[in-house]
């Protein structure tokens, strides 16, 4: 007789875990480059797997979108501490801005599903916002302590600035250079000379 508890506690086979991670990486890339939500079949094709393999790992579009979304949020929240461990706070912040841009880009190909999930309560936007603001605060606090970032900038200020830059850059297309705008934003976050 097979006990359910022993089945539930087993970790997935390493190849199954690798396949899932590969699908997640491909789905993130496809969703980030799409202007409209791609089909599950298109994601499976890009990953080089059959549609059944995709559905075995992610039974619904919502489960795939949630996995991509949560993976990106984890990368952002963990990324703050990881970057600070290896970089000065101002450099860490600039690199974190790039991670934030990747997160925004990944949302473009799944926005309709995400909005539907938020409306139905399947995902909590408030908790994600809280996690992101904590990550920003971690970097800002380190920068203030090191004397390389201004003390009068809040996580909410920076979040609004980043969202503004990436929204404008996305809508304007190649005529707006998001990297240049991020560099200008970072310059504005540095302490004023003589202050």
pLDDT attached to residue 2: 44
pLDDT attached to residue 109: 67
Q: Give me the DSSP letters along the chain.
A: ---HHHHHHSPPPHHHHHHHHHHHHHHHHHHHH-SSPPPHHHHHHHHTS-HHHHHHH-SSHHHHHHHHHHHHHHHHHHHHHHHHHHS-HHHHHHHHHHHHHHHHHHHTTTHHHHHHHHHHTSS-HHHHHHHHHHHHHHHHHHHHHHTSS-TT--HHHHHHHHHHHHHHHHHHGGGS-HHHHHHHHHHHHSPPTT-
Averaged in consecutive runs of 10 residues, what is the pLDDT profile of the chain (195 residues)? 46 71 88 80 90 92 87 89 96 94 75 66 71 94 97 94 86 81 95 73
Q: Can you list the domains of the chain with their CATH numbers?
A: 61-189 (1.10.357.10)
pLDDT attached to residue 1: 46
HSE-CB for 128 with a 13 A CA cutoff: 18
Read off the pTM. 0.73
pLDDT attached to residue 75: 86
Q: By the 8 A CB rule, do 75 and 99 touch?
A: yes
Torsion region of 13: left, alpha or beta (phi above 0 gives left; psi -120 to 50 gives alpha):
beta
pLDDT attached to residue 149: 97
pLDDT attached to residue 123: 59
In order of 19, 22, 65, 105, 158, the CA distances from 43 in angstroms are: 13, 11, 12, 16, 33
């Amino acid at each position: 007789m097979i006990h359910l508890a022993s089945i539930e506690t087993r970790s997935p086979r390493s190849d199954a875990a690798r396949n899932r991670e590969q699908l997640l990486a491909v789905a993130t890339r496809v969703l980030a480059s799409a202007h409209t939500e791609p089909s599950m079949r298109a994601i499976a094709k890009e990953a080089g797997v059959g549609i059944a393999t995709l559905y075995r790992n992610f039974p619904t579009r919502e489960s795939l979108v949630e996995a991509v979304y949560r993976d990106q949020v984890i990368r952002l929240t963990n990324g703050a501490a990881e970057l600070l461990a290896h970089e000065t706070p101002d450099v860490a912040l600039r690199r974190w801005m790039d991670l934030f841009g990747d997160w925004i880009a990944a949302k473009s190909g799944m926005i309709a599903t995400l909005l539907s999930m938020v409306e139905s309560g399947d995902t909590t936007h408030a908790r994600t916002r809280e996690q992101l603001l904590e990550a920003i605060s971690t970097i800002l606090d380190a920068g203030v302590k090191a004397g390389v970032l201004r003390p009068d900038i809040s996580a909410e200020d920076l979040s609004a600035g980043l969202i503004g830059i990436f929204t404008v850059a996305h809508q304007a297309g190649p005529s707006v250079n998001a990297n240049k705008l991020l560099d200008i934003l970072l310059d504005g976050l540095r302490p004023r000379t003589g202050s």
